[in-house]
A and B are shown apart, each in its own frame.
Chain A
Amino acid sequence: MPHEDNRPSPEQLLERVERQERREKRGRLKVFLGYSSGVGKSAQMLDEGRRRRERGEDLVVAATQPKSTPECNALLAKLEVIPTLKIEGQDVIDVAAVLRRNPRVVLIDGLAYDNPPGSRHPRRSGDIDEILDAGISVITSISLQYIEEFQDEIELITGKRATQFVSRKFLEKAAEIVIVDAPTEEHRLSRLREMALLLAAQVVDVQLRDYLEEHGMEEVWGNQERFLVCITPKSHALRMIESGQRNARRFRGELYAVYVRQNALSAEDQVMLERNLKVAEDHNAQVMVIEGDDPMKAVLTFAREHGVTQIFIGHSLGHGLLQSFQRTPVERLIEAANGIDVRIFPQ
């Protein structure tokens, strides 16, 4: 990336400061995420509560799960609990009591509950927001199956949908998200397990990028594989895109198809180009048309900005002796593509 891009604009700086201020006043949200109930979220969370308490942190419990294991009960016995309210037979966090008690940290076991009518907030996540706004930190837990955005996929796997859920955004807002992992023999559960691990990885990825951006660090580590297929009118797009799609699927990565706009395309080239872009779209690639006098430079700039780890490019096998003395565009790309693999498709 060119150096001058490093400097943030005044608006960006202001936003950073505001974000910082908001964060300083608000409590911190920490979420324990498990792929299913019974993986040990509650125990791990309560154990963290116990350790914090032993270190002298002012911590209370504001909600527990209806059914507790003996292990959890033993941990709970060591902690201060603010009893929940009973509204229509349901446990509802006593937000007013929590605010009066004003501890440093509140432990809330189970995030994805709807509160009964007549409660302070329709959902428990609303209670949590209010507590956070008061400057109190919250530690809470959730199972993957209660995340709104995953309902379709989970229904395919388990045949069930949740009736109460929270949005993925709520998790992404959390300052910290911890995965509670445990092995399983059951095929369906292991699919949920994989989803939960990848969700955590994505949240970490987003947070990491924010962090690096805020600190003006430009590090691309390729933790997530990203594939970029270079599209031209003459490229054998199908082969490259199919391979890109297979790679992206296998690596749980992302797939881009990029065309650097050229002027004065022949009618025939225009048709081929459109066909190639259509192929990319049909294979769920993120299709981008970019500008640049030097196509290779434009592709590389895009690749750097998007954290691409592999560039797929076609290379026509030209003839003639003269060519062997000049560097081809593909050669220049390879030489300049520091840290990015280049896969060449002969054509």
Chain B
Amino acid sequence: MIRNPSRGHLKIFLGYAAGAGKTYRMLEEAQKLKSENIDVVVGYFEPHARKDTIAKTVGLEMIPRRRIEYRGCAFEEMDTPAILARHPKVCAVDELAHTNVPGSERTKRWEDVLEMIEYGIDVISTMNLQHIESLNDQILQITGVRVRETVPDWVINEADEVVMIDVTPEALINRIKRGVVYKPEKAQQALQNFFKEATLGGLRELALRQAAHEVELRQEDSQNRDEVPGPASEMDARTQEQPQNADRILIHLTSHPSSAMLIRRGRRVADFLRAECFAVYISPTGNFFHLSVEEREAADRHLNFARSLHIETRVLQGADVTTALVDFARHQHVTQIFMSRSALAQKTFLQRNLVFRVLRLAPDIQITVVAERSRPKTA
């Protein structure tokens, strides 16, 4: 990875639920930096009226929020222009996944943060596991909640450091019960829904694995950069894998709603396998004019979604989906094609479904049929 040398550092404190102590740790770090005479400011901080956390801001320079009017209401947002003008060495920014109110320069807070980094400001920030885009379906499965505010995985990869903020579910539930995290009426609701021991355990395990994965990615990056010799082990065997073994993943997009899930799963698998990842939409005309308005919108949405996750996307022209898909796959040396189960239903008279037509045409390519990860019924 080639990076702008004057670029600021990004450090993310990763938690698995509200109340884990991310903000506390971020502010603690800011205090530590200040005590080392480093020029640090708080760009945004969400107090949530937590006493211990608020106490941690004492003595830190806070950049005042700015008010943005939207539909007659005043919203308070981080004042990115003021931070850029102030240009501190380090800026603490809470809640990376936040969506700015319309009228802000950028849609997402992580975009503001990337801007600060471009300007050479180091940023320390916080986010929860739930906000990682590629985990969205898995989070739904564990919690029953579809998280709307997400951060694309590549943004997290941009971070120089990801630190896991761990707390046990027991301690978290106690904090909720004591009213440290939410006000009493919201606390009861939280305990019944999200803050159940099993749910928290599931999220926590996933967060620990994610944190381990982030450590591993950075190890490989730094190894590839400096080629630090280390003792031979499994780890090194992983990084030195033969290129001919490299996986290349192709996601077959359609207008079907399962495409979003397919994109997330494909992205995640590609990240872990360090594989190239493509996505194609096949249209007989090479455009969307023949589609209904709904289908066209869905196709656009899926393509944009794939692009936002840094997946290379194409709209291919092809009267026959099978041939178009296989031709592209061959040309790009794709090793596996990701399809949703809806592909099983795509069959015509006297013809096999799409999965098996592709298999027959391309005996050198594997097909992964991705399952919907729906929420299981609780006993």
Contacts and interface: CB of A to CB of B under 8 A. Distances in A.
B366 A346 contact: yes
Interface stretch (B75-83, B105-113, B194-202, B308-316): B194-202
Interface stretch (A112-120, A192-200, A258-266): A192-200
Contacts of A243: 366
B333 interface: no
Nearest to A177: B168
Contact of A344 (B215, B233, B359): B359
A181 B355 contact: no
Interface string A275-310: 000000000000000000000000000000000001
Contacts of B341: 334-335
A157 B204 contact: no
A169 to B, nearest CB: 19
Interface in A305-347: 310, 315, 317, 321, 324, 328, 331, 334-335, 337-347
A314 to B, nearest CB: 10
Interface in B331-379: 336, 341, 344, 350-353, 355-356, 359-360, 362-374, 376, 378-379
Contact of B209 (A180, A183, A223, A345): A223
B283 to A, nearest CB: 25
Nearest to A180: B166
B228 A221 contact: no
A309 B341 CA distance: 15
B151 interface: no
B164 interface: yes
B171 interface: yes
A205 B206 CA distance: 9
Contacts of A176: 168, 170-171
Given A187-B228, A198-B209, A220-B376, A343 B368 contact: yes
B378 A217 contact: yes
Contacts of B222: 187
Contact of A341 (B204, B371, B379): B371
Interface string B269-302: 0001110000000000000000000000000000
B158 interface: no
A224 B205 contact: yes
B208 A204 contact: yes
B215 A193 contact: yes
A187 B350 contact: no
A194 B216 contact: yes
A57 to B, nearest CB: 11
Contacts of A73: none
B168 A197 contact: no
A109 B273 CA distance: 40
Given A197-B212, A217-B198, A250-B272, A191 B219 contact: yes
A178 B219 contact: no
A224 B372 CA distance: 17
Contacts of A179: 164, 166, 208
Interface in A187-233: 187-188, 190-191, 193-194, 197-198, 200-201, 204-205, 207-208, 211-212, 215-224
B212 A194 contact: yes
B161 interface: yes
Nearest to B212: A197
Interface string B133-165: 000001001100000000000000000011111
B373 A339 contact: yes
A208 B230 contact: no
Given A182-B163, A252-B209, A344-B367, 9 more contacts: A157-B230, A222-B373, A246-B273, A317-B359, A331-B355, A334-B355, A343-B367, A346-B359, A346-B362
7 contacts: A180-B166, A190-B219, A219-B202, A224-B205, A324-B350, A342-B371, A346-B365
Q: Which 6 A-B pairs have the closest CB atoms?
A: A201-B208, A197-B212, A183-B161, A208-B201, A176-B168, A181-B164
Interface of B: 11, 52, 138, 141-142, 161-168, 170-171, 178, 197-198, 201-202, 204-206, 208-209, 211-213, 215-216, 218-219, 222-223, 228, 230-231, 233-235, 238, 241, 245, 265, 272-274, 336, 341, 344, 350-353, 355-356, 359-360, 362-374, 376, 378-379
